[in-house]
């Protein structure tokens, strides 16, 4: 089983990635971690977008430009490790989503504006931690869940969230220990 762990955690001592790696371990299988900060995937400015469109029109789906998209479409399980930033997630994760959500690799268009998913994954996990309270799940997890269902055909999505890690007086080691115990005990 191929597990793709998409790591959008920027801080060196990230709590989110610690939990996501525990989850990957628990799920079992071959884990490939894509560390977005290291990958330095570029946003879609004018020229790269034009280049990409030319390749797509020519049907050059095996071009290196689409390596991340093919890797994403081939995974059996996807884990997004995404700290809670500004009510949502780090911008590098959005750039990654724009990079992988490629027509004819991640999905294709069918008749009457329909979308036909082409991704193999059966499950997607969204792991996040926050400093305070997550005011609305829909800006992070909810958005990714919608993408998963609509474009990628992944019906089963799970949210694993741990809140209050920067709150005054928070016993961070205890909160983390408890979260890890939950991940280990859960039957996903
Ligand atoms: C740029 C940035 C934005 C953040 N925005 C929020 C926020 O909107 N709400 C919140 O509760 N915590 C916020 N935090 C705190 C983080 O969610 C919290 O520290 C989280 O545990 C970070 O995950 P990490 O340990 O994996 O880096 C923010 C932190 C950073 C660095």
Question: Which CATH number characterizes residue 181's domain?
Answer: 3.40.50.360
Which residue lies with its CA nearest to atom 23 of ligand 1?
Answer: 83
Which residue lies with its CA nearest to atom 3 of ligand 1?
Answer: 85
Helices 91-100 and 67-74, interaxial angle, to 10°?
90
Indicate if ligand 1 lies below 6 Å from the C-beta of 135: no
DSSP annotation string for 88-132? B--HHHHHHHHHH--BTTTEEE-GGG-EEE----SEEEEEEE-SS
Task: Give the atom of ligand 1 at the shortest distance from the alpha carbon of 86.
Answer: 8
User: Which pTM was predicted?
Assistant: 0.97
What is the span of the domain harbouring residue 71? Answer: 2-185
Q: Say how many Å lie between the CA of residue 46 and the centre of ligand 1.
A: 31
107-135, pLDDT tens digit by residue? 999 999 999 999 999 999 999 999 999 99
pLDDT of residue 76: 98
Q: Say how many Å lie between the CA of residue 8 and the centre of ligand 1.
A: 12
Q: 3-state class of 7 per DSSP?
A: strand
How many angstroms separate the CA atoms of 148 and 146, rounded?
A: 5
Domain count, the chain: 1
Which of 13, 84, 129 to mutate to test ligand 1, by most ligand atoms within 8 A of the CB atom? 84
DSSP annotation string for 161-188? EE--TTSTT--HHHHHHHHHHHHHH---
Indicate if ligand 1 lies below 6 Å from the C-beta of 85: yes
Kindly report the average pLDDT of the chain as a whole number. Answer: 97
158-184, pLDDT tens digit by residue? 999 999 999 999 999 999 999 999 999
């Amino acid at each position: 089983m191929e597990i793709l762990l998409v790591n959008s955690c920027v801080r060196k001592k990230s709590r989110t990635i610690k939990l996501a790696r525990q989850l990957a371990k628990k799920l079992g299988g071959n884990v490939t971690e894509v560390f977005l900060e290291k990958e330095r995937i570029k946003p879609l400015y004018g020229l790269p977008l034009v280049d990409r469109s030319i390749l797509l029109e020519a049907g050059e789906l095996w071009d290196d430009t689409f390596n991340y998209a093919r890797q994403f479409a081939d995974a059996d399980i996807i884990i997004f490790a995404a700290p809670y930033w500004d009510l949502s997630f780090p911008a590098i994760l959005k750039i990654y989503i724009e990079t992988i959500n490629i027509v004819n690799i991640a999905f294709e268009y069918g008749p009457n504006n329909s979308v036909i998913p082409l991704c193999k994954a059966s499950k997607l996990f969204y792991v996040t931690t926050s400093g305070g309270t997550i005011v609305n799940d829909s800006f992070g997890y909810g958005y990714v869940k919608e993408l998963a269902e609509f474009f990628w055909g992944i019906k089963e999505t799970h949210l694993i969230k741990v809140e209050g890690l920067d709150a005054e007086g928070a016993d961070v080691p205890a909160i983390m220990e408890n979260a890890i115990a939950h991940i280990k005990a859960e039957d996903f």
